[in-house]
Amino acid sequence: MNAFKTVHKQNEEFTEIREKSDKLDRTVTKIDKLFHKVVKKNDSMSEDYTKLGSNLQELQELVTGENEELAAKLKIFNEGVTQLSYGLQDLTKYLDYEYIVDLKDLEHYIDSMRQLIKLKDQKQIDYEELSDYLTRSIKEKNNLISGYGGSNFFANKLEELAGINQEASRREKINKLEGKITSLTGELENAKKVADGFEQECLKEIDHFESVKTAEIKKSLGSLADHHIEFYERILEAWEKVDDSL
């Protein structure tokens, strides 16, 4: 029933938390899409280098016996190309099976936090609706006491025509409303405790999430940097050997 209702009096702290999580989610989604493109591009480049290596090997075999110096240089150059292809493959595997998985985990963390806030909002909505219901009941009772009861004029007229004692009916309605007000007051106090308690627990969970998120992002970015450094160092070493040999 409350699926499409929103909190009337939202805590500013939660408004800020929601805005930050939405911004983080958009950023992570963009990075996720970007690295999927990087993986696809790296796969294509690695395949091209593999094909180039095969062609160089065929050329090396053709000139072997006729031009040994050229054959030796082709072999050395091909070794550099092969290292480049292998390096790209290793880097791509890391991106695809580790870094992008880390991004997906972060997206799941964000979604879990949103669901937690949504549940917190539901508790708040339950409290606000009870409060509104109690306010309407008190207003209705006060109207009956002051003689303005009968928000439904026609219903009162029908009761009058049916011979129902208006004063007795009014007193009965007031008694029922007093009982309802007493019951609603207790329910409202309980709903307030539940809403406030859940809000505090929600804030604790969000603080924990922030700590985990910061640590995980730092770890993930550090690993991303290390793998790229390792890739470029490996390629540099391989091609320095090629350059020295040629």
- What is the C-alpha separation between 62 and 176, in angstroms, rounded? 103
Asked if the model's pLDDT at residue 2 lies above 80, the reply is no
**Contact in structure between 231 and 87 (CB atoms under 8 Å):** yes
Question: Which of the listed CATH numbers 3.30.70.2860, 1.10.490.10, 1.20.1270.60, 2.40.360.20 matches domain 12-245?
Answer: 1.20.1270.60
**Contact in structure between 135 and 181 (CB atoms under 8 Å):** no
- Give the largest Cα separation in the chain, rounded: 124
Q: Which residues contact 29 (CB under 8 A, 6 or more apart)?
A: 107
Asked if the model's pLDDT at residue 35 lies above 60, the reply is yes
Q: 9: pLDDT confidence band, cut at 50, 70 and 90?
A: confident
Which tens digits make up the pLDDT trace of 74-92? 999 999 999 999 999 999 9
- What is the C-alpha separation between 95 and 60, in angstroms, rounded? 34
| C-alpha dist (Å) from residue 94 to 38, 90, 193 | 12, 6, 48
**DSSP letter, residue 151:** S
pTM for this entry: 0.77
At residue 152, φ and ψ (nearest 5 deg) are -105, 100
Structure tokens at 32: 């996720």
Q: Which residues of 1-22 are buried (b: 16+ CB within 10 A; e: fewer)?
A: eeeeeebeeeeeebeebbeebe
pLDDT of the residue at 93: 97
Domain coordinates in residue numbering, the chain: 12-245
- What is the C-alpha separation between 220 and 123, in angstroms, rounded? 36
Asked if the model's pLDDT at residue 229 lies above 50, the reply is yes
Alpha carbon 58 to chain centroid distance? 52
Which tens digits make up the pLDDT trace of 52-65? 999 999 999 999 98
Which tens digits make up the pLDDT trace of 182-223? 999 999 999 999 999 999 999 999 999 999 999 999 999 999
Which tens digits make up the pLDDT trace of 108-153? 999 999 999 999 999 999 999 999 999 999 998 888 888 655 445 5
Q: 240: pLDDT confidence band, cut at 50, 70 and 90?
A: very high
**Contact in structure between 202 and 120 (CB atoms under 8 Å):** yes
**Contact in structure between 31 and 49 (CB atoms under 8 Å):** no
